[in-house]
Chains A and B, each alone.
With several copies, the nearest count.
Chain A
Amino acid sequence: MSAPSGPLGVLAARLPGRADTPAARVVPPTGFTAQLTVFTAAAMSFLAVFAIAMALAAGQLADRWQAALSQSATIRVSAPADQIEAQTAAVLRVLETTPGVGAARRLDDNEMRGLLAPWFGTDLPVEALPLPRLIEVTETGAGFDAEGLRLRLAAEAPGAVLDDHARWRRPLVAAAERLRAVSLVALVLIALVLAAMVTLAAQAALAANGQVIRVLRLVGAEDRFISAAFVRRFTARALAGSLAGTLAGLGAVALMPRAAADVGLLAGLGLSGSAWLWPLVVPAAAAALAYAATRVAAARTLRRTP
């Protein structure tokens, strides 16, 4: 067995667990299980950073689309020229008394031209055309009851059609929400895998050190003395590995190319602003997990050594 080497080993060597306290020294540098712990913590932290970045990005995207949803209803009023103004006014009246509608506004000619520009250029003679009127509806947070509104409009302004853009965007929002949920589930899975692996690595190390534990018990060491040595060692290793993995993960996320904002999710893995702080929770969580896992494993092993 050799001590862990390479940069992770160097890092681990600087951490308190290796300090020359008597309790720390009685546990041998447990070779491959040590490397396994450091490596597992690093790999899982790397993945955790990605999962966090994805969850945050998906969350932002869902929020953005949700926000867009709340302003996306349009009412189109098409009617013979002599009725159109009356029907438009009727629609606006209906909207004023509809719960959940924040504001309603008739689009002016310039805005109509803007909407049609992708197809017909900007020099379309909108005034001269027998175009329908468009009314943009802004929802309040709660939103309005689209079916109820449709019924009322049918009664008051038969030429009005409610175009609820939400139905185009809603699946997208649902998908973003689902991606966030998947990311969070992945995060939980990663934490479980980390805990399981650290537990198994600690148990493997404890089993490999059966002789150490027997000798220590023979000369009268108390359980907490033996346990502390292992727990400190493994916590330090998980922390070191996790720090390295988190930094690597953050570096990788930072290196991801970002696409234009409108492409949204697909390239939006980058973290921004205070979101950069979230992944820093990872090493702390990894160390806490390793601490708990090793304590449990040590207690179980010690109980078997008389």
Chain B
Amino acid sequence: MIGFSSAGFGYAGARPLLTGLDLALPAGSFHFLTGPSGAGKTTFLKLCYGELVATEGGVTLFGTDVRQMDRDGIAAARRRIGVVHQDCQFLDHLTLTENVTLPLTVAGRPVPERDLADLMAWVGLTDHADARPPELSGGERQRAALARAVITAPDLILADEPTGNVDWEMAVRLLELLVDLNRMGKAVLIATHDLNLIRASKSQVSARLLRIRDRQVQAAGAEL
């Protein structure tokens, strides 16, 4: 779904952050992305959903080179991608339910009430359905962001540190949700520091581990 060919990226006025990226995220794959703080995990994800454009080489989204997509093309691609941002942002004037269903609203699709209720229950937010985002706790916001990312059952889910603010039981529960979606054929990429989470996934899914080291994204096999 996403392919990098000798791609690289550097923020303007800084030395290149990532170089020589050559990898693909095929449909149905499950990846973890790890690396020290500031290595470029978030940057890599932003390249994946077209918020940043590679400064060298090329990135293809669903087969099209990002540089050849106009703004509406990027928007169309994003409707097929669910993103959990590291700093979960919401529309603070809407209720949690409205925020979670926002991707459906934007796509002009109906809201599947049953699925919504199930999803809200799974992430433990049923009690907060009518709360405004600023009234939520940090962990509740993170869970809401994940719910928003998966409500459309997108082809690809990119989650940036989705369990940084939740306790271990909830983290495992969220991981389970992503594993379930992966079983349905969706591709999943999770950026995280939490090696325990990666270990916990072992029993459920055959995930590949990517590690950012020396400005490269390397497959890290089984060596945890």
Decide yes or no whether B94 CB sits under 8 A from chain A: yes
User: 1/0 contact trace for A22-35 toward B, CB 8 Å?
Assistant: 10011011000000
Among B51, B83, B93, B148, the most chain A Cβ lie within 10 Å of the Cβ of B93
Report if A220-B89 is in contact (Cβ < 8 Å); known contacts: A25-B94, A26-B94, A306-B52: no
Q: Are A223 and B75 in contact (CB under 8 A)?
A: yes
User: 1/0 contact trace for A222-252 toward B, CB 8 Å?
Assistant: 1101000000000000000000000000000
Report if A306-B50 is in contact (Cβ < 8 Å); known contacts: A218-B85, A221-B75, A222-B72: yes
Decide yes or no whether B92 CB sits under 8 A from chain A: yes
Among A212, A216, A219, A223, the most chain B Cβ lie within 10 Å of the Cβ of A219
Interface on chain A toward B: helix, strand, loop, or mixed SS?
helix
> Whole-angstrom distance between the alpha carbons of A218 and B51 in the complex?
9
Pick the contact of A220 from B51, B92, B93, B106 — CB < 8 Å? B106
Q: Which residues of A contact B80 (CB under 8 A)?
A: 220
Q: How far is the CB of A49 from chain B (nearest CB, A)?
A: 35
Decide yes or no whether B220 CB sits under 8 A from chain A: no
Chain B's closest residue to A30 (CB) is B93
Q: Give the total of A residues in contact with B, Cβ under 8 Å.
A: 20
Pick the contact of A215 from B71, B75, B77, B90 — CB < 8 Å? B90
Chain B's closest residue to A214 (CB) is B89
Chain A's closest residue to B73 (CB) is A222
Cβ-Cβ contact count across A and B, 8 Å cutoff: 63
Q: How far is the CB of B66 from chain A (nearest CB, A)?
A: 11
Q: Are A306 and B79 in contact (CB under 8 A)?
A: no
Among B98, B102, B106, B108, the most chain A Cβ lie within 10 Å of the Cβ of B106
Decide yes or no whether B5 CB sits under 8 A from chain A: no
> Whole-angstrom distance between the alpha carbons of A26 and B105 in the complex?
9
Q: How far is the CB of A145 from chain B (nearest CB, A)?
A: 68
Decide yes or no whether B91 CB sits under 8 A from chain A: yes
Q: Are B89 and A219 in contact (CB under 8 A)?
A: no
> Whole-angstrom distance between the alpha carbons of A219 and B90 in the complex?
11
Decide yes or no whether B107 CB sits under 8 A from chain A: yes
30 contacts between A and B (CB under 8 A): A22-B105, A22-B106, A22-B108, A26-B102, A26-B106, A211-B89, A211-B91, A211-B92, A212-B91, A215-B91, A215-B102, A216-B102, A217-B78, A218-B78, A218-B83, A218-B89, A219-B78, A219-B102, A220-B76, A220-B77, A220-B79, A220-B103, A222-B71, A222-B72, A222-B75, A223-B72, A223-B75, A302-B71, A306-B50, A306-B51
Residues of B within 8 A of A (CB): 50-52, 71-72, 74-81, 83, 85, 89-94, 98, 102-103, 105-108, 148
